[in-house]
Structure 1
């Protein structure tokens, strides 16, 4: 019996040691990679003085990128995008030239915004927003107004009406199923698309046509409409038209008693229990929300820091797709 116990313990000890060695090995590997990159950068910067600063910076970024492709487990696309951003932020290349291969920098802005919207959907951030809206509503009328407000918020960071429609479709289907009121369902079927279309006017990224319009105005020689300027012009119209349309729809298709009807959503989805996720997922929601708020702040203050809107969008896309 003693022999068996000693054998088992002897067999278990290597597994425990191996489990402890894995984090240490990963730590020392990462540390070695960082030190090697720093030594390479110092060697290039001080060892080739005949090259000017932009050329040395480009060579450093190229060498570190090549090493990351070969020796790290990071995705090649993420590494390449990070290298491109470093070149743009360091002034080696112009931020507008960073996405010229796509035909226009606005295309890069749209693609990056779609990535961020996908991250918001994948982490459950959009579903959390919808559940929060439903929990605050006490009547059918309040529900419609809160849903209009939610669509207005999504217009700030989701770059197309079709993308927001795809985002809100599950919310509409769930509400229609749980309410089980044909007349209320008809109203919701009108409120959702109307709010999605009209609220798009609030933001420069609310629809792809806005980006083309802003670029056309700039080419014609008039003022360049940045995110803050468009928000100043478009948000009042979006507020009045969205909530005004909801007000009209409610009074055209529902009676006063139906509008004031108390909600009886007793499901866990309405109470938010279905959106309660593990701590890791909730932390990811907060992280993506922080990235979105930071992007909106940078978009609104372009005149202060000088970063192009497309560059800010690509930074946000890299932040939400970076491993870990």
Structure 2
């Protein structure tokens, strides 16, 4: 039986936030060196979600999860709390993760988007209910454990289908409105924030922001490999160049790994926000948030009833 520890226990004298940003940079560095940056990873064609609830994981946590998934060669973007896995073993039997598995630390914190009536929570209040929690990618489990988990949880594929169809419809309507003379202050402001976030530490990280935006947009509308989204060889080459510049600053001691990770998250999160507004009906993120919650609730209502000791269909 594996111990899927959930709470942060401290590491190398770093605080939880420092560890979080360091893990982002470490995975980013490995992906740059191995040419596996998630923006160009065709396997990661879905938005990161919690396996048990089907909820989207937004903002900085989604960046960490995708960087780690791409570094480890995971094809899944479904994640589950370590605390949930420990509890699940009491019902389905022993579970194990693959050799060399390193879970991703995520931070439970509110994202204060100015265009939301209520702040977004980066991850749902699941797992151990602690502020810092570890999540495991579905692909990090060994084959027998994977089958046990999938038998217990319905994967949120239907949620993804409904989500991408709704986004694609809203995205096309938004484009049509703009072409017909419609304006959106929300979209304009998001674009400006993305542009500003790309300038940090004497580096121009805008290409990273842009590639992250297109990657998220493709996944959000269900067309991850559409050539019209702008990811091509030139973009990949420029993205790799600026990535190496950031890594060099850390190697030279100009930046600590966790500060570089914070810079990355700031630049990429601006791309995430830009993408979310781009697919929101009328560029209103509050509408998108409500639609996503309805889709998740609808899918969860159709799940099989679960009781202690197994699954009842």
Normalised by the length of structure 2, the TM-score is 0.28
- Normalising by structure 1, we get a TM-score of 0.27
Structure with bigger strand share is: 2
Give the structure with higher Rg (CA).
1
Higher helix share: 1
| Structure with larger RCO (C-alpha < 8 A, sep 6+) | 2
